[in-house]
Amino acid sequence: GELYFNKVEQILHQIQEANEGVARLQTSPRGTLRVHSRVLVGNQHVAPALPEFARRYPEIAVDLLLSNFAVDLVAQGIDVDIRTGKLEDSSLIARKLASSERIVCATPSYLQTRPPLETPADLAHHNCLTYRLHLGRAVWRFLDGARSLTEVPVTGNLQSDNGQILLTATLCGQGLAIMPDWAVRDEIADGRLVRVLPDYRASHIEFDDGIFALFQQSRHTPTKIRVFVDYMASYFKERLG
C-alpha cells in the first residue's frame, strides 16, 4: 500500500510539473494565431490594427482569413473569430469589442436630386443598395422611439453580399445603403455621407448589433489569444469610443 501511494504521489508530482511547464510556455505569447473576420470589419479595422500588434508581440504570426460565412473554429483551426451582428447561441466565449448600430446613409449629392426622406415609407422613391441575404425581395426594418416596427420592401440597382462594395457604391452617389455606424464613422464626420432617418433604428435583419471576438472555452486560454483579444478591445475602444 505504501509503495502504491508513493508511486501515485510521484506521478501526480510529474503531472503538476508538466502543467506548470505548459503554463510557463503560455505566458510568453508566441506561435501562429489564426484569426477569421467578417470582410468589412476585417478590412476596415482588424487589418489596420495588426502592424502595431506585431510590433508589441513580435513572436506571434497572424494568419488572417476574411469571409462572410460562419466558421467552425475547431474544424477549421481558428483561434479567434471576429463577428458582427447578432450572435447565435454557442459554447464559445464571446467578448464584446464594440457596440454599434446600423444607419441609413447617402451622399449629399444623391440626396439633392431625390425626394425628401422623412419616414421609412419615402424609401419607395429611392434607389436602395441592398445586402444580399436570400433570393427574395429586400426588406428594410425600422424601429422608432416607441419601438414600433416598420418593414419596408425596397428596390435598387445593386445587391451584394459584400459590405465594402455597397459602401463604395454609396460613396459614389449611386443610392442609399444601410451600413454599420463603425463603417461610415469618418465619412459621416467629414460630410462625405449623411445619415438619413436619424430618428429610427435601421436594419436589414436583426437589431442586435456589435463587434465580438469569439474563441473556444478552455481552463487556460492560450496567451496568444488572450493578448490579441485584449489588444483588439483596446483598439476598438480608442477608435470607436
Position 71, amino acid = V
* Distance separating alpha carbons of residues 35 and 51, to the nearest angstrom: 15
Beta bridge partners of 60: 31
**Identity of the amino acid at 153:** P
Query: Which residue matches cell numbers 463577428?
Result: 83
* Distance of alpha carbon 134 from alpha carbon 101, whole angstroms: 22
Tens of each residue's pLDDT in the chain, 241 residues: 655 555 655 666 556 555 655 655 556 789 999 999 999 999 999 999 999 999 999 999 999 999 988 899 999 999 999 999 877 767 899 999 999 999 999 999 999 999 999 999 999 999 999 998 766 789 999 999 888 999 999 999 999 989 999 999 999 999 999 999 999 999 999 999 999 999 999 998 877 779 999 999 887 889 999 999 999 999 999 988 7
| Distant-in-sequence, close-in-space partners of 204: CB < 8 Å, separation ≥ 6 | 102, 130, 131, 133, 138, 139, 140, 141, 178
